[in-house]
Structure 1
Amino acid sequence: MGRRDYQDDPGAPAANSLVPAASTVVVDEDGRVLLQRRTDNGMWALPGGRMELGESIGACAIRETFEETGVTVEITGIVGTYTDPGHVFAYDDGEVRQEFSVCLLARATGGTLRASDESSEVAWFAPAALDDLPMVPAIRKRLNDWRAGRGPVVR
Protein backbone atom coordinates (compact mmCIF):
# COMPACT_ATOMS: atom_id res chain seq x y z
CA MET A 1 0.00 0.00 0.00
CA GLY A 2 1.35 3.43 -0.93
CA ARG A 3 1.79 6.24 1.55
CA ARG A 4 2.27 9.97 1.21
CA ASP A 5 3.55 12.16 4.05
CA TYR A 6 2.33 15.74 4.54
CA GLN A 7 4.05 18.18 6.88
CA ASP A 8 2.29 21.50 7.58
CA ASP A 9 0.69 21.33 4.13
CA PRO A 10 -2.60 23.28 3.83
CA GLY A 11 -3.55 20.94 0.97
CA ALA A 12 -3.18 17.81 3.09
CA PRO A 13 -6.27 15.67 3.61
CA ALA A 14 -7.84 15.80 7.07
CA ALA A 15 -6.75 13.10 9.51
CA ASN A 16 -9.31 10.37 10.15
CA SER A 17 -7.17 8.07 12.28
CA LEU A 18 -4.88 8.25 15.30
CA VAL A 19 -2.79 5.13 15.96
CA PRO A 20 -0.07 4.78 18.63
CA ALA A 21 3.23 3.77 17.06
CA ALA A 22 6.88 3.33 17.96
CA SER A 23 10.03 4.08 16.02
CA THR A 24 13.53 3.11 17.06
CA VAL A 25 16.95 4.72 16.80
CA VAL A 26 19.11 1.59 16.88
CA VAL A 27 22.81 2.23 17.41
CA ASP A 28 25.50 -0.44 16.96
CA GLU A 29 28.84 -0.78 18.74
CA ASP A 30 30.47 1.49 16.11
CA GLY A 31 27.94 4.30 16.66
CA ARG A 32 26.15 3.67 13.37
CA VAL A 33 22.36 3.98 13.02
CA LEU A 34 20.09 1.34 11.52
CA LEU A 35 17.78 2.57 8.75
CA GLN A 36 15.41 0.96 6.30
CA ARG A 37 14.31 2.15 2.87
CA ARG A 38 10.53 1.93 3.00
CA THR A 39 8.70 0.14 0.20
CA ASP A 40 5.63 2.42 0.50
CA ASN A 41 7.42 5.73 -0.20
CA GLY A 42 11.02 4.84 -1.14
CA MET A 43 12.46 7.00 1.64
CA TRP A 44 14.96 6.05 4.35
CA ALA A 45 13.36 5.73 7.78
CA LEU A 46 13.77 4.41 11.26
CA PRO A 47 12.25 0.99 11.87
CA GLY A 48 8.87 1.19 13.52
CA GLY A 49 5.14 0.84 13.19
CA ARG A 50 1.79 0.64 14.86
CA MET A 51 1.33 -0.67 18.37
CA GLU A 52 -0.89 -3.73 18.70
CA LEU A 53 -3.43 -4.43 21.41
CA GLY A 54 -1.84 -6.21 24.35
CA GLU A 55 1.70 -4.92 23.84
CA SER A 56 3.70 -2.13 25.41
CA ILE A 57 5.34 0.64 23.40
CA GLY A 58 8.74 -0.96 24.09
CA ALA A 59 7.56 -4.36 22.89
CA CYS A 60 6.14 -2.68 19.78
CA ALA A 61 9.52 -1.09 19.01
CA ILE A 62 11.37 -4.38 19.51
CA ARG A 63 8.89 -6.33 17.35
CA GLU A 64 8.77 -3.77 14.53
CA THR A 65 12.56 -3.42 14.43
CA PHE A 66 12.99 -7.17 14.09
CA GLU A 67 10.17 -7.57 11.54
CA GLU A 68 11.49 -4.80 9.29
CA THR A 69 15.27 -5.29 9.64
CA GLY A 70 16.07 -8.72 11.11
CA VAL A 71 17.94 -7.05 13.99
CA THR A 72 17.13 -7.81 17.63
CA VAL A 73 17.38 -4.92 20.06
CA GLU A 74 17.29 -3.89 23.68
CA ILE A 75 15.57 -0.61 24.55
CA THR A 76 17.95 1.76 26.34
CA GLY A 77 16.09 5.07 26.45
CA ILE A 78 13.71 7.47 24.80
CA VAL A 79 14.44 10.00 22.07
CA GLY A 80 11.05 11.67 22.25
CA THR A 81 7.31 11.69 21.68
CA TYR A 82 6.11 12.99 18.32
CA THR A 83 2.44 13.95 18.00
CA ASP A 84 2.42 16.89 15.58
CA PRO A 85 -1.13 17.29 14.16
CA GLY A 86 0.48 19.06 11.19
CA HIS A 87 2.13 15.77 10.15
CA VAL A 88 -0.27 13.32 8.55
CA PHE A 89 0.27 10.39 6.24
CA ALA A 90 -2.30 9.34 3.69
CA TYR A 91 -2.58 5.72 2.60
CA ASP A 92 -4.06 4.40 -0.65
CA ASP A 93 -6.96 2.81 1.25
CA GLY A 94 -8.25 6.23 2.43
CA GLU A 95 -6.78 6.22 5.92
CA VAL A 96 -5.17 9.55 6.83
CA ARG A 97 -3.23 9.10 10.04
CA GLN A 98 -2.14 11.87 12.39
CA GLU A 99 1.38 11.32 13.72
CA PHE A 100 1.51 9.67 17.16
CA SER A 101 4.89 8.05 17.68
CA VAL A 102 7.17 7.40 20.61
CA CYS A 103 10.76 7.19 19.38
CA LEU A 104 12.90 4.93 21.51
CA LEU A 105 16.66 4.47 21.67
CA ALA A 106 18.01 0.93 21.41
CA ARG A 107 21.17 -1.05 21.00
CA ALA A 108 21.53 -3.97 18.63
CA THR A 109 21.85 -7.33 20.39
CA GLY A 110 21.84 -9.76 17.47
CA GLY A 111 19.96 -10.95 14.45
CA THR A 112 20.81 -10.91 10.78
CA LEU A 113 20.39 -7.75 8.70
CA ARG A 114 17.71 -8.33 6.04
CA ALA A 115 15.01 -6.47 4.15
CA SER A 116 11.33 -7.30 4.55
CA ASP A 117 8.11 -6.71 2.63
CA GLU A 118 8.07 -3.24 4.29
CA SER A 119 11.71 -2.43 3.52
CA SER A 120 13.55 -2.74 0.22
CA GLU A 121 16.97 -2.05 1.81
CA VAL A 122 18.34 -2.11 5.33
CA ALA A 123 21.72 -0.65 6.26
CA TRP A 124 23.87 0.89 9.01
CA PHE A 125 24.88 4.54 8.56
CA ALA A 126 27.44 6.73 10.29
CA PRO A 127 25.68 9.78 11.80
CA ALA A 128 27.56 12.08 9.41
CA ALA A 129 26.02 10.27 6.41
CA LEU A 130 22.41 10.85 7.50
CA ASP A 131 22.10 14.37 6.08
CA ASP A 132 22.48 13.15 2.49
CA LEU A 133 19.79 10.48 2.66
CA PRO A 134 16.27 11.08 1.32
CA MET A 135 13.80 10.92 4.22
CA VAL A 136 10.62 12.62 5.35
CA PRO A 137 11.04 15.63 7.68
CA ALA A 138 9.54 13.81 10.70
CA ILE A 139 12.22 11.09 10.57
CA ARG A 140 14.97 13.65 10.07
CA LYS A 141 13.65 15.54 13.13
CA ARG A 142 13.92 12.40 15.29
CA LEU A 143 17.44 11.69 14.08
CA ASN A 144 18.47 15.31 14.65
CA ASP A 145 17.00 15.24 18.16
CA TRP A 146 18.98 12.06 18.89
CA ARG A 147 22.23 13.46 17.44
CA ALA A 148 21.83 16.70 19.40
CA GLY A 149 21.20 14.80 22.64
CA ARG A 150 17.96 16.76 23.17
CA GLY A 151 15.94 13.81 24.42
CA PRO A 152 13.58 13.09 25.64
CA VAL A 153 11.65 15.68 23.67
CA VAL A 154 7.92 16.17 23.34
CA ARG A 155 6.82 17.47 19.94
Structure 2
Amino acid sequence: MSRRMALSVAAGAVVLVGAGAYALAYAGEQPPALTHSTARYTAPEGGRDGSLTFTTSVTASSGVKNVKVLAWPQNSSFAKNKLTAEDMAAVESAVCKPFKKHTSNCVYTIKTSASDAASSPRGVWHIAVLATARNGTTTLNAKAADFIVR
Protein backbone atom coordinates (compact mmCIF):
# COMPACT_ATOMS: atom_id res chain seq x y z
CA MET A 1 0.00 0.00 0.00
CA SER A 2 1.44 3.36 -0.93
CA ARG A 3 1.94 6.07 1.64
CA ARG A 4 -0.59 8.33 -0.12
CA MET A 5 -3.21 5.58 -0.07
CA ALA A 6 -2.56 4.84 3.64
CA LEU A 7 -3.02 8.52 4.49
CA SER A 8 -6.28 8.61 2.52
CA VAL A 9 -7.59 5.55 4.36
CA ALA A 10 -6.59 7.04 7.74
CA ALA A 11 -8.23 10.38 6.91
CA GLY A 12 -11.40 8.58 5.81
CA ALA A 13 -11.49 6.63 9.07
CA VAL A 14 -11.17 9.84 11.09
CA VAL A 15 -14.07 11.40 9.14
CA LEU A 16 -16.25 8.32 9.70
CA VAL A 17 -15.49 8.22 13.44
CA GLY A 18 -16.25 11.94 13.72
CA ALA A 19 -19.53 11.53 11.84
CA GLY A 20 -20.49 8.62 14.08
CA ALA A 21 -19.76 10.63 17.23
CA TYR A 22 -21.85 13.51 15.88
CA ALA A 23 -24.72 11.16 15.08
CA LEU A 24 -24.64 9.72 18.61
CA ALA A 25 -24.54 13.17 20.19
CA TYR A 26 -27.41 14.34 17.99
CA ALA A 27 -29.46 11.24 18.79
CA GLY A 28 -29.04 11.99 22.49
CA GLU A 29 -30.74 15.36 22.06
CA GLN A 30 -33.87 14.07 20.32
CA PRO A 31 -37.13 15.04 22.04
CA PRO A 32 -39.18 12.33 23.75
CA ALA A 33 -41.34 10.16 21.50
CA LEU A 34 -44.88 9.07 22.40
CA THR A 35 -46.24 5.74 21.16
CA HIS A 36 -49.21 3.49 21.86
CA SER A 37 -51.28 6.31 23.37
CA THR A 38 -54.83 5.33 24.32
CA ALA A 39 -57.66 6.84 26.35
CA ARG A 40 -60.52 4.97 27.98
CA TYR A 41 -63.45 6.87 29.45
CA THR A 42 -66.11 5.17 31.55
CA ALA A 43 -69.14 7.27 32.50
CA PRO A 44 -70.49 7.20 36.05
CA GLU A 45 -73.39 4.79 36.36
CA GLY A 46 -75.68 3.49 39.09
CA GLY A 47 -74.07 5.42 41.94
CA ARG A 48 -70.55 4.47 40.88
CA ASP A 49 -67.91 6.96 39.82
CA GLY A 50 -66.63 6.82 36.28
CA SER A 51 -63.02 7.21 35.24
CA LEU A 52 -60.65 8.37 32.56
CA THR A 53 -57.50 6.35 32.01
CA PHE A 54 -54.79 7.44 29.59
CA THR A 55 -51.77 5.28 28.81
CA THR A 56 -48.72 5.94 26.66
CA SER A 57 -45.16 4.75 26.15
CA VAL A 58 -42.52 7.48 26.21
CA THR A 59 -39.04 6.97 24.80
CA ALA A 60 -36.24 9.42 25.57
CA SER A 61 -32.54 8.62 25.21
CA SER A 62 -31.72 10.47 28.43
CA GLY A 63 -34.69 8.95 30.29
CA VAL A 64 -38.17 10.24 31.08
CA LYS A 65 -38.38 13.01 33.67
CA ASN A 66 -42.07 13.90 33.62
CA VAL A 67 -45.27 13.39 31.64
CA LYS A 68 -48.10 15.90 32.10
CA VAL A 69 -51.64 15.07 30.96
CA LEU A 70 -54.65 17.29 30.22
CA ALA A 71 -58.08 16.26 28.93
CA TRP A 72 -59.82 19.03 26.97
CA PRO A 73 -63.10 19.20 25.04
CA GLN A 74 -62.89 19.67 21.28
CA ASN A 75 -65.00 22.84 21.42
CA SER A 76 -62.82 24.59 24.03
CA SER A 77 -60.59 27.61 23.53
CA PHE A 78 -57.62 25.24 23.00
CA ALA A 79 -59.11 24.35 19.61
CA LYS A 80 -58.66 27.96 18.44
CA ASN A 81 -55.68 29.07 20.53
CA LYS A 82 -53.19 26.24 20.24
CA LEU A 83 -52.19 24.55 23.46
CA THR A 84 -48.68 25.44 24.67
CA ALA A 85 -46.15 23.99 27.09
CA GLU A 86 -46.96 26.90 29.42
CA ASP A 87 -50.62 25.79 29.46
CA MET A 88 -49.43 22.36 30.59
CA ALA A 89 -47.20 23.61 33.44
CA ALA A 90 -49.80 23.30 36.20
CA VAL A 91 -51.62 20.14 35.09
CA GLU A 92 -51.31 16.74 36.73
CA SER A 93 -48.60 14.21 35.94
CA ALA A 94 -48.95 10.63 34.83
CA VAL A 95 -47.29 7.85 36.82
CA CYS A 96 -44.39 6.49 34.75
CA LYS A 97 -42.56 3.22 35.29
CA PRO A 98 -39.43 2.16 33.40
CA PHE A 99 -40.15 -0.49 30.78
CA LYS A 100 -36.98 -0.71 28.71
CA LYS A 101 -33.64 1.09 28.78
CA HIS A 102 -34.97 4.41 27.42
CA THR A 103 -38.73 3.79 27.55
CA SER A 104 -41.29 4.28 30.31
CA ASN A 105 -44.92 3.25 30.37
CA CYS A 106 -47.03 6.07 31.74
CA VAL A 107 -50.58 5.93 33.11
CA TYR A 108 -52.87 8.77 34.14
CA THR A 109 -56.17 7.94 35.86
CA ILE A 110 -58.80 10.24 37.28
CA LYS A 111 -62.20 9.48 38.80
CA THR A 112 -65.31 11.16 37.40
CA SER A 113 -68.32 11.78 39.65
CA ALA A 114 -71.87 11.94 38.35
CA SER A 115 -71.97 15.71 38.94
CA ASP A 116 -68.67 16.18 37.08
CA ALA A 117 -69.99 14.18 34.14
CA ALA A 118 -73.30 16.09 34.11
CA SER A 119 -71.51 19.44 33.88
CA SER A 120 -68.95 18.33 31.26
CA PRO A 121 -69.40 19.20 27.58
CA ARG A 122 -70.63 16.30 25.47
CA GLY A 123 -68.77 15.10 22.41
CA VAL A 124 -65.16 14.52 21.49
CA TRP A 125 -62.42 15.22 24.00
CA HIS A 126 -58.66 15.17 23.39
CA ILE A 127 -55.77 14.23 25.62
CA ALA A 128 -52.81 16.63 25.55
CA VAL A 129 -49.43 15.34 26.71
CA LEU A 130 -46.24 17.19 27.56
CA ALA A 131 -43.34 14.75 27.91
CA THR A 132 -40.07 16.01 29.35
CA ALA A 133 -36.82 14.06 29.10
CA ARG A 134 -34.10 14.17 31.75
CA ASN A 135 -31.94 16.26 29.39
CA GLY A 136 -34.68 18.94 29.28
CA THR A 137 -36.03 18.30 25.78
CA THR A 138 -39.82 18.22 25.49
CA THR A 139 -42.57 16.97 23.23
CA LEU A 140 -46.08 18.44 23.27
CA ASN A 141 -48.84 16.49 21.58
CA ALA A 142 -52.16 18.32 21.92
CA LYS A 143 -54.12 15.36 20.52
CA ALA A 144 -52.30 12.25 21.71
CA ALA A 145 -55.60 10.35 22.11
CA ASP A 146 -59.34 11.02 21.93
CA PHE A 147 -62.44 9.84 23.76
CA ILE A 148 -66.15 10.65 23.67
CA VAL A 149 -68.34 11.91 26.50
CA ARG A 150 -72.00 11.03 25.86
Asked if these proteins are the same fold (TM beyond 0.5), I'd say no
Greater RCO, 1 or 2 (C-alpha within 8 Å, sep 6+): 1
Band the TM-score falls in, shorter-chain normalisation: under 0.3
TM-score (norm 1): 0.25
- Greater strand share, structure number: 2
TM-score (norm 2): 0.25
